[in-house]
Structure 1
Amino acid sequence: MIVENRWKVAVLAMAAAGVFAAASSGWAAGVPLHDGLISYWALDEGLGAIAHDTAPGGAVADHGQLRNSPAWIDGVFGAGLQFNGVNQDVLLPSSTDMNIGASAVTLAAWVKLDVLPASISGSFSGIFDANDDNYVLYLDKAANELRFKVTTAGGAAERPGVPGSMLNTTDWHHVMGVYDGEGRAKIFMNGQLVDTHAAGALVGSVRPGQTSGIGSQPAETAGFPPTSLFKGAVADVALWNRRLGAAEALYLFNGGAGRAVGAANPLIEPVTPVPPASGSTIISAHRGNSIAAPENTLSAFSAAKGFADRVEFDVYIAKDGELVVMHDSTVDRTTNGTGSIASLNYAGQIDALDAGSWFSPQFAGEKVPTMRQSIEQIFADGMTPLIERKAGPAAAYVDELTELGVLDDVVIISFDWNFLSQVRALAPNVELGALGSGALSPSVIQSIAAAGADFVNWGDSASITDAMVDAVHAAGMELHVWTVNSMGRMQQLIDFGVDGITTDDPETLRSLVPFPTAGDFNNDGVVDGADLELWATGFGMASGAKPADGDADGDGDVDGGDFLAWQQTFPSGLAAVPAPEPHALVLAVLTAAASVAPLRRARAAPSRNIDAPA
């Protein structure tokens, strides 16, 4: 059977030393803070009508003009300007530096709000703003967010935001917007990633040419009169023509004490992820890697490779009985067609639709996949299908999965717990998860257990606490949480000990959850003698072996290769002592076992009618 694929990927991908590097690729690593710093307004002059640009990397000095006398204040580390929200701002000229001239940008500032976004007088309030909206920070009343917006030379734009519920009018907040040039825009607050937006067209250079304002959005008319005025304080505004990341955000926030960008130029080392205390957290890619490719498509599923353990996708049943992958009950939102899935045949209708162009022109022609096609792709990419049933009878799912030979190798989830009970009656061994949202309580947990579910798959809310994790575990089930995209909340849930997290951004989550170490068969974060005992007990299993049986390479059996994986990683988490050399007789047995293992695997391979994972 398919072993949980995080172990297979751990052995294959980590051995190639490529996965974790890819997962961390969004973070600047080992780079001086001032590298690419093209404009920097410390706002620490304390007097006068000029805000000086002291960036070391700028081609010109982009000094700002104070208009209508905003007040100099001792904000963070003795710097800051207070704006009245009526007529005060700092006008920043358009220049070579302000054109960015690169395929990435980072904009950071310390901000203290006098008014929360939902209560501002106009629709918008500019913190660092411009009429062109090429790269700006502002308050959005309708969205009730503090937003970062970036616009590319091609006209694509995204607006990740900090929700008003995370803001207040008493503290200074460090905010940092980042565009990476590769399809993503992010916003950090107080050292934590809060939101990520992605689009296939969000690539290439930042759109050039903007006259900016600190505390306003300058109009494009003569004299650049201020509009969308900001009421509050701003300090230490910095602009880079490269992407920064979590390491820089944490450094500048400094636990709330803050560090001025211009105070020092340290080499910023990457954040080192800490393995979860619970051993591992299953990462499920929501509709695939849906911030990198159009949701619920084969491209999105493959884009999760190397980051996710499981790939979640949604299934409806078409008029002709085909199980079709689509989140909505109609094809309207994510294709160029219209109509309900139940009213359309897959063959000749749904399969002719374009499911990619809505996301980006580069995905034009992407097809709506069937459940069968999706399962084949996900297994081929070394991950486990996580099937969310939206509609259709239990028998239709069980019959197709049985025909494919993967019934006990996939995971099925549903909001319809009666459906789960029906599946359980037809398939005693399939792994089932009960979806839900709202308040999670002991009575709800009991109802889920009664439905025959193996785990609770709950929408993120305030009811998800460490105590609730314990309550679910006490009921003999796992707790998985959806859909979590904030790095700070991801870490909090990991610390609570949740068993799995579903996210639109598996790359970011993987940066917090390193793949398990080959040889750590009991998944306790340590490779030691206890793992060797598990291997010795499981040695000789010809099929169906799991990591806990001593199967390090995910091939379904326990043999000499698995011992060598243990030996190569021993000790992990202990004092560095040599791994014990096996006795000569043991070596002979291991050699023989290794030589026959391919034959045994060929004879004992699971009866699956699709190709095994690569």
Structure 2
Amino acid sequence: MFARAAAATTAALLGACALVLPSAPASAQAPATPQAAHHGRPLVVAHRGASAYAPENTLAAIDKARDMGFRWVENDVQRTKDGELVIMHDDNLKRTTNVEEVFPDRAPWKVADFTAAEIARLDAGSWFSPKYAGERVPTLRQYMRRVSRNHQSLVFEFKKPELYPGIEYQGLRVLRETGWLDKSHVRNRLVIQSFSANSVRTVHAVRPDVKTGFLGTPPVADLPAYARFSDQINSTHTSISADYVSAIHALRGPHGKPLEIFTWTVNDAPNAVRAAKFGVDGIITNAPDVVRRALRGF
């Protein structure tokens, strides 16, 4: 049902986003690369917040990352039945909420089948630990306010955008309205990524100043095509090698800077060291403290 509504509103959302397109060429407003990525030690990004220690994609998880001293966090964004953007990894609510108890007759409990108000009723913390009972699924606006309050930076992921037509325009609109598309944030504090090349292309077309990442491990021969619209190739750590990382760094992304690679999800010291020796620019991890300790020698 919402797909039809999204189709009807996409043009309006595109118009709203077009108002914030940069007036200067993209090359003149190239996003700054995080400094940690270029003096030997990869940037450490807390995956879904510090999700080894607090329930993933909740405000508690990003607060935990803050308390542990981590500036960069990563999230996942999906859309509700009534068009609200929420922070959730899976496209259904079963694994990380008590939706089966609250709405027993609503299987298969897809995010897109529930309103924002219904999702706000769910407990998103008890599955992880009684300590986090009552933790809620944040909306994107709530999440962005907390990231701002924590003085954190964000790897923002559009999760399964093929399920939510127009979600890129909506996400960019929320980022603009919460102050995240000004020059300072765009240059230093934001990366937008997706497993969907089309989604990354859309973000780059609408906001060519924003730093983007494609999630996957494309063949080396295909990397130049991705470098036209993506600043990063963000690959699972089990799929990369030193040669692959070198092939990425040999190319320049859409802002004229060397293409980067953030690798995921690295939760142990040996694999953190292995990835760092390959020369990756960032490591996305559920256990950022483990990775930080492992990289102290770099």
Q: State if a TM-score over 0.5 links the two structures.
A: yes
Q: 1:456 aligns with which of 204, 222, 233?
A: 233
- Measured against aligned partners, the alpha-carbon deviations of 1:177-204 in whole angstroms (never above 9, x if no partner) come to xxxxxxxxxxxxxxxxxxxxxxxxxxxx
Q: For residue 294 of structure 1, what is the amino acid of its counterpart?
A: P
% identical equivalent positions: 38
| CA 425–308 in structure 1, closer or farther in 2 if over 3 Å, else same | same
Q: CA RMSD in A?
A: 2.5
The one-letter code matched in structure 2 to 1:285 is: A
Instruction: Check the 8 A contact 1:311/1:384 in 2, yes or no.
Output: yes
Change (3 A) 1:328 1:492: same
Deviation at 1:370, TM superposition (A): 1.1
Which residue of 2 is the match for residue 479 of structure 1?
A: 261
Q: Does 1:379 align with 2:148?
A: yes
How far apart are residue 447 of structure 1 and its match?
3.2
Q: Deviations over 1:149-197 (max 9, x none)?
A: xxxxxxxxxxxxxxxxxxxxxxxxxxxxxxxxxxxxxxxxxxxxxxxxx
Alignment size in residue pairs: 243
Distance 2:139 2:33 in 1: 22
Deviations 1:263-302 (A, max 9, x none): xxxxxxxxxxxx9994331111111111101111111111
Give the aligned partner of residue 320 of structure 1. Answer: 82
- After superposition, residues 123-272 of structure 1 pair within 5 angstroms as none
User: Within the alignment, does 1:396 sit opposite 2:170 as a pair?
Assistant: yes
Which residue does 2:12 correspond to in 1?
Answer: none
Instruction: Trace 1:566-585 onto structure 2 (pairs within 5 A).
Output: none
Residue 505 (structure 1) aligned with residue 282 (structure 2): no
Partner of 2:99: 337
Query: Would the aligned equivalents of 1:315 and 1:388 in 2 still touch at CA under 8 Å?
Result: yes
SS at match of 1:304: helix
Equivalent-residue separation in structure 2 for 1:511 and 1:6 (angstroms): 19
Conservation of the 8 A alpha-carbon contact between 1:313 and 1:325: yes
- Note the C-alpha offset of 1:446: 2.4
TM-score by length of 2: 0.75
Contact 1:276 1:513 in 2 (8 A): no
Change in CA separation of 1:398 and 1:277 when aligned onto 2, cut-off 3 Å? closer
SS at match of 1:353: coil
Whether the aligned pair in 2 keeps the contact of 1:412 and 1:433 (CA below 8 Å) is: yes
Within 5 A, what are the aligned runs for 1:531-542?
none
Residue 6 of structure 2 corresponds to which residue in structure 1?
none
Q: Which amino acid aligns with 2:47?
A: H
Separation (CA, whole Å) in 2 of partners of 1:508 and 1:332: 29
Give the Cα separation in 1 of the matches to 2:198 and 2:38: 34
Alignment of 1:350-369 (within 5 A): 350-369=119-138
Contact 1:5/1:382 (<8 A) preserved: no
Whether the aligned pair in 1 keeps the contact of 2:48 and 2:73 (CA below 8 Å) is yes
Q: What's the CA shift string for 1:323-350, capped at 9, x where partnerless?
A: 1001111111110114111111112x00
Aligned AA (2:94): D
Question: 2:48 is matched with which residue?
Answer: 287
The match for 1:29 is: none
User: How many angstroms apart in 2 are the aligned matches of 1:277 and 1:284?
Assistant: 15
Residue 511 (structure 1) shift: 1.5
Q: Cα deviation per residue 1:496-537 (whole Å; 9 max; x = unaligned)? A: 21101111110111113459xxxxxxxxx9xxxxxxxxxxxx
> Any residues of structure 2 matched to 1:549-564 within 5 Å, and which?
none
Read off the aligned partner of 1:283 and give its amino acid letter.
V
Residues 1:276 and 1:333: Cα distance change in structure 2 (over 3 Å): closer
Measure, in 2, the Cα distance between the counterparts of 1:500 and 1:5.
11
Cα 1:378–1:5 shift into 2, 3 Å: farther
Alignment partner, residue 425 of structure 1: 205
In proportion to residue count, which structure has more strand? 1
Any stretches of 5+ residues in structure 1 without a counterpart? 8-274, 516-524, 526-614
Distance 1:441 1:308 in 2: 32
Q: Which has the higher helix share?
A: 2
User: What is the CA-CA distance between 1:443 and the residue it aligns to?
Assistant: 2.2
Name the CA distance, whole Å, in 2 between partners of 1:377 and 1:513: 28
- State the structure with more CA Rg: 1
Other-structure match for 1:582: none
CA distance in 2: counterparts of 1:457 and 1:309, whole angstroms? 19
Query: Of the two structures, which has the highest relative contact order with CA contacts closer than 8 Å and spacing of 6 or more?
Result: 2
